[in-house]
Structure 1
Amino acid sequence: MRQNIIVHLYGLIRDMYAEHGDPRVAHLPLLGNLWIVLALVGVYLAFVLHYGPKWMEHRKPYELKTVMQVYNAVQVVANTIVFLYGLTNTYLQPGFSWTCQPFDKTDTSPRMMHVLCATYVYYMLKYLDLLDTVFIVLRKKNSQVSFLHVYHHAGMVFGVSIYMTFLGGSHATMLGIINLLVHSVMYAYYYASSLGALRHILWWKQRITQLQLAQFGYLTLHFLLVIVRNPCRFPPFIAFIGFIQNIFMFFMFFDFYYKTYIRKQRQQQQPPVKRESPAEAGLKLS
């Protein structure tokens, strides 16, 4: 019975990819086959949540300062270039809509192919992002491997693969454009802090979280636009998922922001409680 369900599910997904997949990108590696994507995400989750920490349990943390500096520098350069390239070919073009961009898999114009090229590089960067957690595990900073961190990285790989396979160049393009900008700033902070400039740029950390909150807030409204009014016929189900997902991420990040900054600042501003000496307590009782 279970085997029949798996076979049936496999057939449904195969047919969906064959019938509705974008032929403009179907030939690209890590597209057109959901099982490979799920397998890679599964390997990532297994390593960062179980096998990695277990393997490092009796080992000393790896010193990865130079490796991480190179990694962060590459991330800054790559995210910035793709952001500028993608923005130039999308929302800075007169024919690309901010409010409801349609999906047309027959559009093979040079501009749209540039958009798909930028989107594919962005998709590859989501796999590169996974190394961030791997470095955390190898450095035995396991407290940083939070649910929010792992969910965000794994979910982005899966989500962008679906978008690239079925909706490249559509209304959801805004998510990638904003995310590239946020990651450019975030990895610049990581790179600067690794050089010993943490004291001078510590204020960035709170601003980056605020930028992430603004990102999810805007994307919530962006997907709400095509739920309320949908002249470009963007798939309502996908728009609803995007809407709910960004609300969820907003509250997850807000919870982190509140606990890390607002509550901590309030606690620091509270005057210390004055403790009475035994003599003072005795005077009050007498």
Structure 2
Amino acid sequence: MQINNLTSSVVLIYKDFIQNADSRTDDWLLMSSPFPQTFIIVAYIYFVTSLGPKIMENRKAFDLKSVLVVYNFVVVMLSLYMCYEFVMSGWGTGYSFHCDLVDYSNSPQAMRMLAVCWLYYFSKFIEMLDTIFFVLRKKNSQVTFLHVYHHSIMPFTWWFGVRFAGGGLGTFHALLNSIVHVIMYSYYGLSAMGPKYQKYLWWKKYLTTIQLIQFAMVTTHISQYFFMKDCPYQFPIFVYIIGLYGLIFLFLFLNFWYHAYTKGKRLPKVLQAQRWAFHTNRVMNGTANHGKHE
């Protein structure tokens, strides 16, 4: 009896919750409820952390060079398109970068913003292929907590963003993220093209710097809300979520930076060689100088 009452209460709460959703997205793909996407995300986590590695354990790694080149540059083009749409639907055509509200009308501008918000949300499922390719290539060391958490939490939270607040100040981080992805996936695409392109990829270390700048900008922008005297943003809960998101990823990427680059574990090979040569010279010079003082 208690279980039935609890179930009924949950259903009522959900119905009351979903009544506030944006009716313009009622019939859009994956928008009817959060459960289909939750199933996809759970399946993704299970595959990349458990099932996939077990399947590949006694198998030869797949050679996905051509697939990776195509995939990465397709994501670059998609990210460029989303940058353009975010700019043309608000961020370059009227948004103030301060208290920008969600336009719930059916005007062409409002629908254009809503459409690119949905496309950005859907692109997060496409980007899950990053991890699946790692597993198929037996690059399990790259399937880190940060990586899986990022690819899981983004589509989950963005469902609520599109369903309730498709536009306004809560979309600034999507524009920034699309810009960063143009740079990042360009790097991945060039890297997948083979060793002869490695000498042009000395800027790998700066990818993490760019991501750190991104999260600092996201946190700074959304924090304005707490200092505005009058900003009737329709769903303040998203301000808190975005702010928390920015801080969490800023911390996680700083931690990644420290362990991956300060210690030199993830530097490009050419920089690793330079780093090794630098430290070797220091040791040799130190030994020579020590000998002079003896």
| Structure 1 and Structure 2 fold alike (TM over 0.5) | yes
C-alpha displacement of 1:190: 0.6
* Amino acid corresponding to residue 76 of structure 1 in structure 2: V
User: Do 2:65 and 2:193's aligned partners in 1 also have CA atoms closer than 8 Å?
Assistant: no
Q: Who is 1:122 aligned against? A: 120
Does structure 1 residue 21 correspond to structure 2 residue 21?
Answer: yes
The change in CA–CA distance for 1:5 and 1:145 in structure 2 (over 3 A counts) is: farther
Q: Is the 8 A contact 1:227 1:240 kept in 2?
A: no
By how many angstroms is 1:57 displaced?
1.0
Inter-partner Cα distance in structure 1 for 2:88 and 2:285: 60
State the match for 2:153 in structure 1. 155
How many Å apart are 1:7 and its aligned residue?
A: 5.0
Equivalent residue number for residue 163 of structure 2: 165
Q: Identify the match of residue 195 of structure 1 among 189, 193, 198.
A: 193
- Stretches of 4+ aligned residues off by more than 4 angstroms: 1-4, 267-270, 273-276
May I ask how many residue pairs the two structures share in their alignment? 275
The structure-2 alpha-carbon separation of the partners of 1:193 and 1:102, relative to structure 1 and needing over 3 Å to count, comes to same
Q: Does structure 1 conserve the Cα–Cα contact (< 8 Å) formed by 2:103 and 2:110?
A: no
Supply the distance in 1 between the matched residues of 2:81 and 2:43 (Cα, whole angstroms). Answer: 29
1:171 is paired with a residue whose SS is helix
What residue identity is the alignment partner of 2:101? P
Distance in 2 between residues matched to 1:256 and 1:240, nearest whole Å: 24
Distance verdict in 2 for CA 1:227–1:32, change over 3 Å:
farther
Relative to the length of structure 2, the TM-score reads: 0.86
Equivalent residue for 1:233?
232
Is 1:75 paired with 2:75? Answer: yes
Pick closer, same or farther for the CA change 1:135–1:5 going to 2, 3 Å.
Answer: farther
| Aligned-pair CA distance for 1:186 | 0.7
Go from structure 1 to structure 2 and tell me whether the alpha carbon gap of 1:156 and 1:230 turns closer, same or farther (over 3 Å shift): farther
**1:251 shift after superposition:** 1.0
Partner of 2:259: 259
Question: 1:215 corresponds to which residue?
Answer: 214
Question: What percentage of aligned pairs have identical amino acids?
Answer: 32
Structure 1: distance between partners of 2:127 and 2:6: 34
Residues 127 and 157, structure 1, Cα contact 8 Å, conserved in 2: yes
Relative to structure 1, the CA distance from residue 153 to residue 3 in structure 2 (aligned partners, 3 Å threshold; closer, same or farther) is farther
> Which residue number in structure 2 is paired with residue 102 of structure 1?
101
Q: Which residue identity lines up with residue 230 of structure 2 in the other structure?
A: P
Aligned residues of 1:227 and 1:239 also touching (Cα < 8 A): no
Counterpart of 2:262 in structure 1: which amino acid?
I
C-alpha distance in 2 between matches for 1:9 and 1:215: 37
Unpaired stretches in structure 2, ≥5 consecutive residues: 265-271
Aligned pair partner of 2:180 in 174, 179, 182? 182
CA deviation after TM superposition for structure 1 residue 139, in Å: 0.7
Q: TM-score, normalised by structure 1?
A: 0.88
Q: 1:230 to 1:53 in 2, by over 3 A?
A: farther
Quick check: 1:89–1:115 contact (8 Å CA) kept in 2? yes
Distance (Å, rounded) in 1 between the aligned partners of 2:121 and 2:40 = 14
Amino acid at match of 2:49: L
> Do the aligned residues in 2 keep the contact of 1:37 with 1:158 (CA within 8 Å)?
yes
The code of the aligned residue for 1:54 comes to K
Kept after mapping to 2: 8 A contact 1:227/1:236: no
Aligned-residue offset at 1:202: 2.4
Cα RMSD for the two superposed structures: 2.4
